Amino acid sequence: ELPSRSSGGSGRVFIAGLPRSGGTLIEQILGAHSRVRTTGESGLLERLLADESGAYAGDPVGLSGALDGVAGLTAVATAYDGALAGADFVTDKSIENVELLGAIAQLFPDAVVVRVRRDLADTALSCFFHDFAGRYDYVHDLGDAGFAAACIDRLWDDLAATLPVRVVEVDYAGLVAAPEPHIRALIAGCGL
């Protein structure tokens, strides 16, 4: 059996969304709660999956299916929780969390995944004007940025519809326009 936290919620909150879609804002909102510890974009889960499976750490989709058997899953889950010990709730924010939803669903079936939604055109334009220091090649061309945003959004739809994960959706425009009800829904959705 995989490790589980059960103090009012799973204790694990994975924030995923397109670059520049509002994930950092969501993490800051959750981090203001006294029971939440934020980790930023640590890449911890991706590294642990790569270490355990021997798969390439830059291939999140490959990592999701690379582990064989419960022993490998348990080792990753235990190492992940051990590295993040000491907080009731921990956020893990990463764009790659979208591609790791399969692994997240297997490792932490009680986790909450926060999906941040922002208008795709706004997101692509924001990516185009942001300097990612070479992290995302597609942002240097506005057409590529829009295409990538649409592909990642469609991947989200497909994975969220087929995997047994609890998803809390946050609409960025709604959050900015009327913060209080959206923040209350986010906090409640995470089990806080």
pTM summary value:
0.82
Q: Which helix (H) or strand (E) holds 180?
A: helix 179-189
**Three-class SS of residue 20?**
coil
CB 159 within 8 A of CB 104: no
Token representation of residue 176: 């900015």
Query: How far is residue 35's CA from residue 45's CA, in Å, rounded to a whole number?
Result: 21
Token code pair at residue 175: 């959050």
Per-residue pLDDT tens over the stretch 54-91: 666 666 656 656 665 657 788 888 898 888 887 889 99
Which residue(s) pair with 14 in the sheet? Answer: 92, 113
Q: Cite the beta strand spans of 39-123 per DSSP E.
A: 89-93, 112-117
